[in-house]
């Protein structure tokens, strides 16, 4: 059996899902470390918030770079190198004793590691493994892998933090990252465009030039900023928001886990909807629903019940943007440079993430609450919904198109 025959779409999908489970699941625990690390070193909330925010920015800024390498040479090597950065960053986080050390370990090393093991790299492999009619569903299933990690890894990390301390939890996460090594072999090899997909051979510069002059792509990339702002603000600051509102830390951890649990369902739903209906309209609906959900949550008294209900609802919408946005990129431009082009969109997402996490910490330190950031997230959601309406979803018609032979 040759390497290409055993790397079937199902094998690739399973490996991709497990990689995202471990890499994204570990990232979603970082909100749990905000309070214990800050208290242990007598730091303001803003210190660790900035480190997490820098991580998301580094993650995003390096994403097109890793995406271009993966598009040209394959994702396996990129993922393997990324896990070294990721594991090293987690280990050094446990040993950090100064703001500079926590910034370099959390912000730089884990940021680079996440970039090489996250959605644009992995979803491009999945997208190329199946034809267009099955792509949205496969992307939804793989995206759900990140949420599965949130369900499994967040309670695991909370247990270690509560019983053994945050340092032991971080070291355990670092060691667990090496499970990714054998999984990376399943997605290695040079990228192959799906049979029947028409394309013209382009270099990197031509692919970028084509994308930046496509109005729909610019709108899609810009709107993805809002997704990052909303989700990473909530992921990083919801535990502290609930605890300072009198909610027990275990309920806060449960809320994060519920976001992940319901996101598994949400990714399947939005992935399936994206295969049947207009992806841009599904994205507009999703952003509107987020704004409505946040408005209701902050308008009602905070309680264990409201926290659980909000986490469940927002979980259904959490990463539904991922199969829809990545699928729309592939639908318009094809899959040849999918990792890089979705990587640019993800850069926008991560800039939003940076601001959501960082501004959340600044707002809390300055005012003692998150009111301004909550309302900012609501307004941005409405703006993002409006931006998706004029996007032209039709595949680009290129001259001299030719069918790639696989």
pLDDT in tens, 276-294: 889 999 999 999 999 999 9
What's the DSSP call for residue 403?
A: E
pLDDT in tens, 77-127: 888 889 899 999 999 998 988 989 999 999 899 999 988 888 888 888 888
pLDDT level of residue 382 (50, 70, 90 thresholds): very high
The mean pLDDT value for 31-55 works out to 84
Give the closest residue to 126 by CA, choosing from 70, 64, 207, 54: 70
Average pLDDT, the chain: 85
- In 10 A of CB 194, how many CB atoms? 19
CATH superfamily name and code, 8-191+204-394: MFS general substrate transporter like domains (1.20.1250.20)
**In terms of C-beta density within 10 A (0-12 exposed, 13-18 middle, 19 or more buried), how is residue 163 classed?**
exposed
High-pLDDT (> 70) share of the chain, %: 92
Across 269-307, b (16+ Cβ under 10 Å) vs e yields bbbebbbeebbbbbbbbbbbbbbebbeebbeeebeeebb
Q: What is the DSSP string of 280-346?
A: HHHHHHHHHHHHHHHHHHHHSPP-HHHHHHHHHHHHHHSSTHHHHHHHHHHHHH-STTHHHHHHHHH
Q: Return the pLDDT at 391.
A: 93
The mean pLDDT value for 259-271 works out to 87
pLDDT level of residue 303 (50, 70, 90 thresholds): very high
Whether 1 shows a pLDDT value over 50: the answer reads no
CB 231 within 8 A of CB 381: no
Please report which helix (H) or strand (E) contains residue 46, including its range: helix 45-61
The mean pLDDT value for 376-386 works out to 96
Q: Return the pLDDT at 403.
A: 41
Domain limits, the chain? 8-191+204-394
What's the DSSP call for residue 213?
A: T
The mean pLDDT value for 297-309 works out to 93
| pTM for the structure as a whole | 0.79
Q: Return the pLDDT at 401.
A: 44
pLDDT level of residue 312 (50, 70, 90 thresholds): very high
Measured between its terminal Cα atoms, the distance across the chain in Å is 17
CB 270 within 8 A of CB 323: yes
Q: Length of the chain in residues, anyone? A: 406
Whether 62 shows a pLDDT value over 50: the answer reads yes
The mean pLDDT value for 335-357 works out to 86
């Amino acid at each position: 059996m040759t390497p290409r025959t055993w790397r079937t779409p199902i094998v690739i999908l399973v490996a991709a899902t497990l990689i995202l489970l471990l890499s994204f699941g570990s990232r979603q625990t970082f909100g749990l470390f905000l309070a214990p690390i800050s208290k242990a070193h007598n730091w303001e909330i803003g210190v660790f918030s900035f480190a997490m925010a820098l991580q998301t920015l580094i993650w995003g800024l390096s994403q097109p770079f890793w995406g271009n390498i993966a598009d040209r040479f394959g994702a396996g090597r990129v993922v393997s190198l990324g896990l070294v950065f990721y594991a090293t960053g987690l280990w050094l986080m446990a040993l950090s004793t100064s703001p500079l050390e926590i910034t370099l370990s959390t912000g730089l090393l884990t940021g680079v590691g996440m970039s090489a093991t996250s959605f644009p790299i992995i979803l491009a492999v999945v997208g190329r493994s199946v034809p267009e009619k099955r792509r949205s569903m496969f992307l939804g299933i793989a995206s759900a892998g990140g949420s599965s990690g949130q369900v499994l890894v967040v309670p695991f990390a909370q247990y270690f933090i509560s019983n053994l301390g945050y340092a032991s939890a971080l070291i355990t996460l670092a060691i667990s990252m090496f499970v990714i090594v054998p999984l990376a072999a399943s997605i290695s090899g040079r990228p192959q465009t799906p049979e029947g997909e028409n394309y013209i051979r382009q270099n990197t510069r031509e692919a970028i030039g084509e994308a930046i002059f496509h109005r729909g792509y610019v709108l899609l990339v810009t709107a993805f900023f809002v997704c990052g702002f909303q989700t990473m603000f909530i992921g990083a600051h919801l535990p502290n928001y609930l605890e300072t509102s009198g909610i027990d830390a275990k309920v806060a951890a449960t809320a994060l886990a519920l976001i992940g649990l319901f996101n598994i369902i949400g990714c399947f739903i939005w992935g399936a909807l994206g295969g049947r209906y207009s992806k841009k309209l599904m994205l507009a609906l999703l952003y509107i629903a987020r704004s409505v959900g946040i408005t209701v949550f902050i308008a009602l008294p905070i309680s264990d019940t409201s926290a659980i209900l909000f986490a469940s609802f927002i979980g259904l919408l959490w990463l539904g943007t991922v199969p829809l946005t990545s699928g729309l990129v592939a639908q318009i431009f094809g899959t040849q440079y999918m990792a890089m082009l979705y990587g640019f969109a993800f850069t926008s997402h991560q800039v939003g993430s940076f601001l959501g996490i960082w501004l959340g910490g600044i707002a809390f330190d300055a005012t003692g609450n998150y009111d301004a950031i909550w309302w900012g997230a609501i307004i941005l959601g409405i703006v993002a919904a409006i931006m998706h309406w004029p996007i032209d979803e039709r595949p680009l018609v290129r001259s001299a198109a030719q069918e790639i032979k696989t």
